[in-house]
């Protein structure tokens, strides 16, 4: 079942160690077949150098395993929630990449401080609200997806214009129309998080790009009426820093 999607998701998973985004077995990539309502995800705890396309687990949008001998990633409930609430995404990546995790640990947005950021993210990448003790005890992974979606809804952020979020004290989730694009967005996030950290240390400031420069770079890559957001879309987090 879904052999082509398994190959695509396998290749996306294997690009994570090549891009320096994962250590050991940390991280996972999934991809969805929207017509079938099924997604494919990395099995939990499997070393990347031992992973095979046939190991990937097929899961439905209730989070139930429909095919696979291994346990799906422990983050499957988060992927499930995001696929159900962000209907235009086709792939999701979770990593523990160190610079993005540093911002997650500090519960800080990754600010849109440079044009590399603006080429991919139309504003600050938000740190989702930290889960309460009750939410963690109730369903940590499921509520992780919920806090990401709730943060985007409350802050009025277009999930296609800013295809990533930080889960406080855990790490980044990134997404896109395909698994490969989700991996690309995950890597850009790690690069700009490191750049921001150094800029903030040197200037003790986290100043933002002016809106016109954010527009110029973002829409140069995505087009005036970008699939990703609308011409005048402003992430709430960016608007407040103008």
Ligand X SMILES: O=C(CO)[C@@H](O)[C@@H](O)COP(=O)(O)O
| Interface positions with ligand X (CB under 6 A) | 25-28, 42, 44-45, 73-75, 94
Tell me how far CA of residue 3 lies from CA of 11, 53, 54, 109, 203, in angstroms: 12, 8, 8, 37, 50
Considering all CA atoms of the chain, what is the largest pairwise distance in Å, rounded to the nearest integer?
A: 53
CA distance 237 to 206: 13
Radius of gyration of the chain, Cα coordinates, nearest whole angstrom: 17
Complex with ligand X: residue 43 or 111, whichever CB lies closer: 43
Pairing of strands 91-94, 65-67: unpaired
Active site residue 119: yes
**Looking at the chain, how many residues does it have?**
242
CB of 55 to ligand X, least distance (A): 12
Least gap, CB of 46 to ligand X (angstroms): 7
What's the min distance (Å) between Cβ of 242 and ligand X?
A: 35
**Please, what is the minimum distance in Å from the beta carbon of residue 24 to ligand X?**
8
Find tokens 């640990």 and name the residue: 105
Residue with Cβ nearer ligand X (65 or 226): 65
Q: Can you tell me the distance from the alpha carbon of 230 to that of 124, in angstroms, rounded to the nearest whole number? A: 17
Helix (H, G, I), strand (E, B) or coil at 237: helix
Catalytic member of 81, 83, 159, 228? 228
Q: Closest CB to ligand X among 94 and 234?
A: 94
Would residue 228 show up in a list of annotated catalytic residues for this protein? yes
Token pair in block for residue 29: 């990539």
Single out the catalytic residue among 33, 55, 119, 139: 119
CB atoms within 10 A of CB 98: 15
Closest CB to ligand X among 45 and 223? Answer: 45
Active site members? 119, 228
């Amino acid at each position: 079942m879904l052999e082509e999607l398994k190959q695509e998701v396998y290749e996306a998973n294997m690009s994570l160690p090549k891009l320096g985004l994962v250590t050991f077995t940390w991280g996972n990539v999934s991809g969805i077949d929207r017509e079938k309502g099924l997604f494919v995800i990395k099995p939990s705890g499997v070393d990347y150098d031992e992973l095979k396309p046939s190991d990937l687990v097929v899961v439905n949008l209730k989070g139930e395993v429909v095919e696979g001998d291994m346990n799906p990633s422990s983050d499957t409930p988060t992927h499930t929630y995001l696929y159900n609430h962000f209907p235009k995404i086709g792939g999701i990546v979770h990593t523990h990449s160190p610079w993005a995790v540093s911002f997650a640990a500090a519960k800080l947005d990754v600010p849109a401080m440079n044009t590399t950021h603006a080429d991919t993210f139309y504003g600050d990448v938000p740190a989702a609200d930290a889960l309460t003790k009750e939410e963690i005890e109730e369903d940590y992974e499921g509520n992780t997806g919920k806090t990401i979606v709730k943060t985007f809804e409350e802050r009025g952020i277009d999930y296609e214009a800013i295809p990533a979020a930080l889960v406080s004290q855990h790490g980044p989730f990134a997404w896109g129309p395909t698994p490969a694009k989700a991996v690309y967005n995950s890597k850009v996030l790690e690069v700009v998080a490191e750049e921001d950290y150094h800029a903030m240390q040197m200037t003790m400031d986290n100043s933002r790009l002016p809106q016109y420069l954010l527009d110029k770079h973002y829409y140069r890559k995505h087009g005036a009426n970008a699939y990703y957001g609308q011409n005048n879309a402003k992430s709430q987090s960016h608007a407040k820093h103008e």
